[in-house]
Amino acid sequence: MTDGPGHGLPMTVPARGLPSAVRIHEVGPRDGLQNEQTVVPVEVKAEFVHRLAGAGLRTIEATSFVHPRWVPQLADAEELYPRLTGLDGIRLPVLVPNARGLDRALALGAGTVAVFGSATESFAKANLNRTVEESLAMFEPVVGRAKEANTEVRGYLSMCFGDPWEGPVALEQVVRVSRRLLDLGVDELSLGDTIGVATPGHVDALLHALGEEGVPPERLAVHFHDTYGQALANTLAALRHGVSTVDASAGGLGGCPYAKSATGNLATEDLVWMLHGLGIETGVDLGQLTATSVWMAERLGRPSPSRTVRALSHKE
Amino acid sequence: MTDGPGHGLPMTVPARGLPSAVRIHEVGPRDGLQNEQTVVPVEVKAEFVHRLAGAGLRTIEATSFVHPRWVPQLADAEELYPRLTGLDGIRLPVLVPNARGLDRALALGAGTVAVFGSATESFAKANLNRTVEESLAMFEPVVGRAKEANTEVRGYLSMCFGDPWEGPVALEQVVRVSRRLLDLGVDELSLGDTIGVATPGHVDALLHALGEEGVPPERLAVHFHDTYGQALANTLAALRHGVSTVDASAGGLGGCPYAKSATGNLATEDLVWMLHGLGIETGVDLGQLTATSVWMAERLGRPSPSRTVRALSHKE
């Protein structure tokens, strides 16, 4: 089960114009678990991160220093973070919603933090209870203090391709908020398709518009959700634009496929299958990663929604 | 539930270099149902085809005239086909494994038939109990007689991107068998990734190699399975080569996602979401199609594996 597909599949056939290596930003422990119904004990979370690192992932978003009232699933951040030892060379970003969250993260020695913004007013209001401008104003000192502390900062921008309240989101609006976040000093900006509605031409158009605005693909990451099955096709479009950091969640954690709110992160295994078929280096051992997701799925009491995990874990 | 996603999503953003319209070759009633465990009554099958037509599909592979011993799920072909009336302008191809199958199909007035070949010796042996050459020799009179009867012929070529026994399959081998099938006179050749292992660079390379051999994309269709979640990214690669006929199965019918043998056809709804986002015309009403797949899933007693069907059918 853990040896990958075997038989030399997928065949490695590179395509022109794609990066030679991709850095996978693994979000399972944070974006994945925060959307799961099951409460996961802190020692299981710690083991999950260690197993992911063992499978070759080098950037693993570990948890969130958000108020426990909002994300009870991650209320154990202070307990979890000190358990993540012996992970030399592994980046363990943590989400910080505000100055208080940054304080908590810095106190524990986090080397990378992430702030979470919205491209739309509706989601800024729903998620942050602020306008987009007010949220940027809140992030400014957070980013500034993190940089002073020599801490890397990732910016998330959600609802870049559509919003559940507003519907379509104008490219100009996404470009404008992206530019603001980058100007605040975030080192990397992750463009989120939070409700999974993007299609590849839309991805092309946004990355093109950002390029016109002087944003190089090296500062961008993409964060696709598989709600409508589009995540991997969209990733392919982003790779063609030179984006080489891709967010994914081991086993597709983060959203029940049967619920209305299904957010379904792109499964890291489905991504790795494609990247390895394309001859793009990831450092990930697909067999070990699949075994990790099967292990985690057992703890969550439901099968992984990743197609690759399902297919590989039923090999004899 | 049947009104599509609403809110003007997905946003339509065309990408350069893609076809302006795609003909979806719907395989749910044949390739889908032949792989389902549940026995579906003939009147349900007939209603399924009529509902698919009502949703705007114009090519619906209806059944297979294979010996009932091999595919008991489709043993009712003679009963089903005469029920498919009032479908003006809809093509209803049927699979014919051999001369006997062709006789049965022609007796019922089938306007399009399909033969099912293999790119690999192992699958030719397993599926047809013949070598590749022997199977081509068997198809020759079938194709010839179909053409004499003014019947269109589609050729399927399976295992084009990998084989469960042989592993990788050389491009040259796929090109050679493709050329032979086209030379026999098939009007259209559907390149099958039967076990779902292809990645986009591999698709690029095969279509390029076929182009070098003088095969225009107009004579090709692609048939991807979503076993490892790659089907839509692979479809995007094929569209970039000018292929404009894509096989898909309503609701992703045709393979239990939990079984080892999961063959998981690309779900028509996931395909339509991408194509409509890209501004590519299909003639399909996504809401009606989703409602049809939900209806069929109820008859099969299990949820649809299509991500789009799941997401849309849980909207209030």
What are the DSSP E strand ranges found in A69-187? 94-95, 112-118, 152-158
How are strands ordered across the β-sheet holding B94-95? B59-60, B23-26, B245-248, B220-224, B188-193, B152-158, B112-118, B94-95, B63-64
What is the C-alpha to C-alpha distance for residues B103 and B118, in angstroms, rounded to an integer? 22
A12 within a domain of the structure (yes/no):
no
Cα–Cα distance list, B68 to A50, A132, B46, B64, B99 (Å): 52, 63, 18, 9, 15
A260 within a domain of the structure (yes/no):
yes
User: Which pTM was predicted?
Assistant: 0.96
B220 within a domain of the structure (yes/no):
yes
From the list A249, A238, A242, A193, the residue with the least C-alpha distance to A216 is A242
What are residue B316's DSSP bridge partners? Answer: none
Residue span of the structural domain in which A57 resides: 29-315
Determine the pLDDT at residue A5: 55
Local structure of B169: helix, strand or coil:
coil
Q: Which residue is associated with the tokens 């000190």? A: A82
Contacts of B200 in chain A (CB under 8 A): 15, 236, 274, 277-278
Q: Is B160 an active-site residue? A: no
Restricting to B residues 3-32, those with a Cβ less than 8 Å away from any Cβ of A are 5-11, 13-15, 18
Q: Does B153 touch chain A (CB under 8 A)?
A: no
Contacts of B199 in chain A (CB under 8 A): 10-11, 13, 273-274, 276-278
Determine the pLDDT at residue A259: 45
A189 within a domain of the structure (yes/no):
yes
CB contact under 8 A, B202 and A277: yes
Determine the pLDDT at residue B315: 57
CB contact under 8 A, B311 and A235: no
Contacts of A232 in chain B (CB under 8 A): 229-230, 232-233
Local structure of B314: helix, strand or coil:
coil
Determine the pLDDT at residue A263: 53
Residues of chain B with pLDDT under 70: 1-6, 255-263, 315-316
A105 within a domain of the structure (yes/no):
yes
Q: Which residue is associated with the tokens 């991805």? A: A203
A55 within a domain of the structure (yes/no):
yes
Determine the pLDDT at residue A39: 86
CATH number for the domain that contains residue A116: 3.20.20.70
Determine the pLDDT at residue B2: 37
Cα–Cα distance list, B136 to B18, B124, B206 (Å): 33, 10, 21
Digits of tens for pLDDT over chain A (316 positions)?
A: 334 456 789 999 999 999 999 999 999 999 999 988 888 999 999 999 999 999 999 999 999 999 988 889 999 999 999 999 999 999 999 999 999 999 999 999 999 999 999 999 999 999 999 999 999 999 999 999 999 999 999 999 999 999 999 999 999 999 999 999 999 999 999 999 999 999 999 999 999 999 999 999 999 999 999 999 999 999 999 999 999 999 999 999 986 544 444 458 999 999 999 999 999 999 999 999 999 999 999 999 988 889 999 899 975 4
What is the C-alpha to C-alpha distance for residues B169 and B198, in angstroms, rounded to an integer? 11
A7 within a domain of the structure (yes/no):
no
What is the C-alpha to C-alpha distance for residues A185 and A176, in angstroms, rounded to an integer? 15
CB contact under 8 A, B232 and A230: yes
Number of folded domains that form chain B: 1
- Return the percent helix, strand and coil in chain B, to nearest 5: 45, 15, 40
Nearest CB partner across the interface for B230, out of A197, A232, A314: A232
Determine the pLDDT at residue B255: 66
A274 within a domain of the structure (yes/no):
yes
Cα of A25 to nearest chain B Cα, Å:
19
* Choice among B215, B233, B236, B256 that is catalytic: B256
Residue A253, token pair as written in the block: 């954690």
Is the four-CA dihedral A265, A268, A272, A273 of positive or negative sign? Answer: negative
Asked whether the ipTM of the predicted complex exceeds the cut of 0.90, the reply is yes
